[in-house]
A and B are shown apart, each in its own frame.
Chain A
């Protein structure tokens, strides 16, 4: 399976990556190569096999409902690109 320009554009849009048009063809052929690599999996018979998402020796641990965090806004916003009155600023969000 090879990747079309529109496939690549759709993926880039979903991933919020602006692609350099000059690098488009090289990227397309590299990704096509990767898709070939992972296509090997299609040939494997996995009928009746339960998907494994995580190491099997783990169990979810729950935390008690307690407030443990203090206000660290000043520290966190010292490394932010743009803040005002305690808010992170971004170009206007349209709803």
Chain B
């Protein structure tokens, strides 16, 4: 059995059958990480003894017959989730010494399921970035091409999954931070409906947009992990109280009669030809599976980028005020008075992209600008929501590219923030509306870099989205392909 290329369902079966122990499985992944990650830099923190201790505990549970679908399966977590006793950096120098004194709800859920924490994955600083180049811990490389970015901000999670350094990983998605790196790394990734996954213990970037989710090779894997991750948590006022749902239950439903909405704005000249071709091929495959195409329009798509770059920085400027060098985290070495302590600690602790967004957010909220920028952005946000609600009267799912291009080169866009921002044009509006979105690999474009197809559903349609993705993956094998590096 090639453990690194085995699905979660098969791993769970092997663990239950005791042909495999959690310790063996965890050790094999730790070995792969030790061997390959120096090239990728997808992990910030590893703690093998802790991971193995958790694996041993899982083995005890399995021996006692106390098993769930993820018991004994190690999973990597984005370093945005606080994990008690683990360094939790959020990719920032500001938290480079922060050992979290509590568990995020998501971490609790995996702990309760008996899934050992494999390690904390690299990410853009405070989840601000689309390329993983803003991390204080250095950029992550794309396993398909080490010259390319893995996308961001969950770039470490995406690269680790693509290189099969972990069976699955958690991520967070504020403007595309799961779907875009999943797309760029040739894997599957889902951002659930806003409010499905508790944000408690997930370090906030833009609170009204942030949502936790999963990255894994296949839609079936996503469904299994999502089953554990989703759950009501009273500590997050925006977390929804809903009956438990099994996201794997409907995976096998046929797609006959599925109406796929294709927003013309997602197929404009802004999309590169290689991406467009791979998307078109995927749509043909869906037609073979019984789906039909419906032309739709999301006319305010282009405005989603400016709306996002008002609202997200505004919320971030406030969310990041708690990092002041007083109670935890980085404190400047030399300072005079209180203001100096604040200004130096924050100037030294935050990187340039974080500072840009804090200053932008401060600007749009400040006296005289609030109405023109912040309120206006919220009004346009409603227009974007209305576009989707209109569209879902005519189709069951919306499809388009997850990213207008395949992965770009490391360093290619770092000097021009605007170009970087525009790479999220197809993912951002989903967060603004709070809808679920999913990306699956559908082929390769220029330089053999992966292309991702984005699926957008109505509220709470995760199970349906996973079903639609899974049916495609039953008919194709893009999701089973892995980079050469992963086969070593």
Contacts and interface: CB of A to CB of B under 8 A. Distances in A.
A20 B352 CA distance: 11
A90 to B, nearest CB: 6
A7 B309 CA distance: 19
A39 B418 CA distance: 13
Interface in B234-267: 234, 237-238, 240-241
A17 interface: yes
Given A17-B350, A76-B327, A37 B379 contact: no
B380 interface: yes
A51 B324 CA distance: 31
B359 A11 contact: yes
B378 A52 contact: yes
Given A17-B350, A38-B373, A11 B418 contact: no
Contacts of A23: 352
Interface string B308-324: 01100000010001001
Nearest to A82: B331
B305 A17 contact: no
A37 B341 contact: no
Contact of B234 (A33, A61, A93): A61
B297 to A, nearest CB: 16
Nearest to B208: A54
B194 A55 contact: yes
Interface of B: 97-99, 101, 193-195, 208, 234, 237-238, 240-241, 302-303, 305-307, 309-310, 317, 321, 324-329, 331, 335-344, 346-347, 350, 352, 355-356, 358-360, 362-364, 366, 372-373, 375-383, 385, 416-418, 421, 433-434, 459
A51 B363 CA distance: 19
A56 to B, nearest CB: 7
A79 B99 contact: yes
Interface of A: 7-8, 10-12, 14-20, 23, 27, 30-31, 33-35, 37-42, 44, 46, 49-58, 60-61, 63, 72, 75-76, 78-82, 88, 90-93
A48 B141 CA distance: 47
B234 to A, nearest CB: 7
Contact of B195 (A14, A53, A58, A81): A58
Contact of A38 (B306, B385, B459): B306
Given A42-B372, A91-B336, A51 B379 contact: yes
B379 A15 contact: no
26 contacts: A11-B362, A15-B317, A16-B339, A17-B346, A31-B359, A34-B360, A37-B421, A38-B360, A40-B302, A41-B310, A41-B373, A41-B376, A44-B303, A46-B376, A51-B382, A52-B379, A55-B195, A55-B208, A55-B434, A57-B240, A61-B241, A63-B234, A72-B101, A81-B325, A90-B338, A93-B338
A58 B381 CA distance: 16
A56 B388 CA distance: 13
B240 A58 contact: yes
A10 B377 CA distance: 23
Given A18-B343, A44-B376, A56 B385 contact: yes
Contact of A49 (B97, B360, B383): B383
Contacts of A31: 356, 359-360, 363
> Quick one: which of A23, A52, A90 has the most chain B CB within 10 A?
A52
A80 B358 CA distance: 24
Given A76-B327, A90-B326, A19 B347 contact: yes
